[in-house]
């Protein structure tokens, strides 16, 4: 962590990152360890996560809040899955064989999401789709990150994130429009983003 702190020139940003580290280190380590089951890999993921976080400090407001905690957990979880897949030499999922939904379907989904009166309905629907898709939608629409920022955070190409966001919106639309089967959606593409 010291190396990351030394890279930051602004004292305010350095203090903010240090406070984030002190506040969430144990919890984030636990998230990484639960996926990797290896002390050293979990520590490496934590260091990598804080390097990524240091590049986006301006987008973190309050340190001790659910929004910040969720953002940090998503980054660590995705980096942990990346590390896990590297170690298992997994072949990345290729979505190029399936085409995305038409743009008008995406727009109507976005309109529906924006017009939801209760956040609980959306949270329930998100819990029914693949957790990786839910993470991407959360980063895009709740945290308001651009697709390129998300690609950087989760170590995927812009095109892959774009396709997965399209699929995530389609899966969410199915759930919201007809109640969908949660097990069908969760098993659609595995557990990673």
What residues contact 95, with CB distance under 8 A and at least 6 apart?
160, 163, 164, 167, 189
The model's pTM is: 0.55
Average pLDDT score, the chain = 75
Residue 95: pLDDT over 50: no
Measured distance CA(186)–CA(104) in Å, rounded: 25
Same domain, 47 and 117: no
Q: What residue numbers bound the domain in which 149 lies?
A: 103-186
Measured distance CA(75)–CA(28) in Å, rounded: 9
Long-range contacts of 144-149 (CB under 8 A, 24+ apart): 145/59, 149/56
For residue 96, is it within any domain?
no
CATH code of the domain containing 140: 1.10.10.10
Under the banding of pLDDT at 50, 70 and 90, the label for residue 131 is confident
Measured distance CA(128)–CA(121) in Å, rounded: 11
**Where a domain ends, among 37, 58, 88?**
88
Measured distance CA(148)–CA(181) in Å, rounded: 31
Packed helices 39-54 and 66-88: angle between N→C axes, nearest 10 degrees: 130
Q: Considering the chain, what percentage of its residues have pLDDT values greater than 70?
A: 69
CATH code of the domain containing 9: 1.10.1740.10
């Amino acid at each position: 962590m010291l190396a990351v702190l030394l890279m930051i020139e602004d004292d305010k940003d350095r203090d903010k990152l240090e406070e984030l580290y002190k506040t969430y280190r144990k919890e984030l380590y636990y998230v990484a360890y639960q996926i990797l089951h290896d002390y050293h890999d979990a520590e490496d993921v934590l260091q990598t996560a804080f390097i990524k976080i240091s590049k986006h400090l301006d987008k973190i407001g309050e340190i001790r809040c659910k929004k910040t905690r969720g953002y940090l957990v998503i980054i660590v979880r995705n980096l942990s899955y990346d590390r896990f897949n590297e170690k298992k030499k997994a072949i990345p999922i290729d979505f190029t064989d399936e085409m995305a939904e038409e743009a008008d379907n995406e727009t109507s989904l976005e309109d529906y999401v924006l017009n939801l009166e209760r956040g609980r309905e959306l949270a329930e629907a998100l819990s029914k789709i693949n957790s990786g898709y839910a993470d991407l939608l959360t980063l895009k629409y709740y945290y308001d990150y651009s697709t390129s920022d998300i690609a950087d955070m989760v170590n995927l190409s812009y095109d892959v994130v774009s396709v997965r966001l399209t699929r995530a919106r389609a899966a969410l639309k199915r759930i919201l429009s007809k109640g969908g089967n949660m097990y069908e959606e969760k098993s659609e593409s595995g557990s990673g983003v």
